[in-house]
Amino acid sequence: MAKPGKYSLWNNDIIETDKATVAITSSAVLYGLSVYSVFFAKYREDGLLGFRVPEHITRIKQSAKIIGLNHTEEFLNKEVFLKNIHKLIEVNKPTSDQFFRLTIHATEILPGVRTTDLELALSVFMYEAKNILPQDKARLKTSLWRRTADTAIPARAKVNGAYVNSALAKQDALDSGVDDCLFLNQNGYVSELSAANIFMVKRGVLVTPDPASDILEGITRRSIIEIAKRNKIKVVERKVALTELYASDEVFACGTSAFVSPITQIDQRTIGTGVAGEMTMFLKEILRNEQKDKNSDWVTIL
Ligand code: PMP
C-alpha cells in the first residue's frame, strides 16, 4: 500500500493529511460525487518535474463540467495551484518519484441527489510513484463487467463513484490470477483497462480505441499518439474488436500510473512473441525521457 505524504493541500491550506477529512453527510461520501486526476512528477535533487500538469488541471475541470459540478473555473487557478504544490513539496520533502492526486469533492451537506451549485473543496495529496502493472509482461482477462456507457456514467469524466466499475473488474481479474481486466463496452468493442488505456500494434500501425469507445481520454494516451506521430508511426483511433488484440503483434497499456506496460497475455492467449514488443519499448523509452527532461514542453518544474 502506498503511503501518502504527511501533509496535504486542502483548498489553499497545507494541513496534516490525517486531518483532511470529508463529512459523512456530504455528497462526496453519499454518492461518490467527486472528480479527480493524478499526475506524475519525476524526482530530481534540484526539484520535481511535473508531467503535463496544465492538462491535468484542464481535465479535472472538464470532468466536473461533464457531470454538472459548476463554479470550478476560478476554483483551480493554475498559478495559485502551482504555488501551493510548491509549498506542499517543501513540507513533505520527497526523495523519490511522486504521484499527485487532486480531487474536487462535493462537500455540500445533504443536498439530495443533484450535482449543480454544490459547495466544493479541493484536496491534493502526494505519494511515492510505483507502477500499478508489471513492467515487462502483464496479463489481462476480458471482464464480465462491461465499461459504463457514456449514457450511464461517462468514462470520459474521472468521477470517483464511477470507479466502482473499475474495482469490480480489477478484483475479478485479480481473483483469476492475472494483473488487470480488459473492459469491453456495451457494444462489445474494446474499451480500456481498470485505470489505463490500451494500444495494439499490427503490421507497424498503432491502433487504439477511439474516444467514443467509452474510454477515459488519457493524457498518457494522447502523449503516446503525439510521440508516435512525431516519429512517423501511423496511428489509427477506431473501434477495436477483442479478437484483433488476440491476433496483434504487440499490445500495451498506458496511463499515469501504468506508464507504458507491455501486455503479453490476454485470456490465456500469448500476444505476439510473448515478450515486450519493439514498438512498445521504443515508445516507453521516449515517454520516460520526456518525463525526466526539464526542457520538455510537457514538463513543469515544481
Ligand atoms: N483510463 C482510466 C479508467 C484511468 O483511470 C486512467 C488513469 N487516469 C487512464 C485511462 C489513463 O489516463 P492518464 O493517462 O490521463 O493517467
- Alpha helix locations (H) across 162-277? 163-175, 219-230, 242-246
Residue 153 sits in the same domain as residue 282: yes
Residue 1 has pLDDT above 90, yes or no: no
**218 touches ligand 1 (CB under 6 Å):** yes
**53 touches ligand 1 (CB under 6 Å):** no
Query: CB under 8 Å to 268, separation ≥6 — which residues?
Result: none
**216 touches ligand 1 (CB under 6 Å):** yes
Residue 45 has pLDDT above 90, yes or no: no
d(CA 300, CA 302): 6
Record the cell numbers describing residue 62, joined without a space.
472538464
What average pLDDT does the structure give for the chain?
Answer: 97
What local confidence, expressed as pLDDT, does residue 206 receive?
Answer: 98
Residue 262 sits in the same domain as residue 146: yes
Written as one string, the DSSP assignment of 131-145 is -SS-SS-EEEEE-SS
Note the pLDDT tens digit of each residue in 236-266. Answer: 999 999 999 999 999 999 999 999 999 999 9
**Domain limits for position 267:** 138-291
Residue 283 sits in the same domain as residue 148: yes
Is there a domain that residue 176 lies in? yes
What local confidence, expressed as pLDDT, does residue 295 receive?
Answer: 96
CATH of the domain at 149: 3.20.10.10
Note the pLDDT tens digit of each residue in 137-188. Answer: 999 999 999 999 999 999 999 999 999 999 999 999 999 999 999 999 999 9
Written as one string, the DSSP assignment of 149-169 is PTTTS-TTS-BGGGHHHHHHH
What local confidence, expressed as pLDDT, does residue 46 receive?
Answer: 86
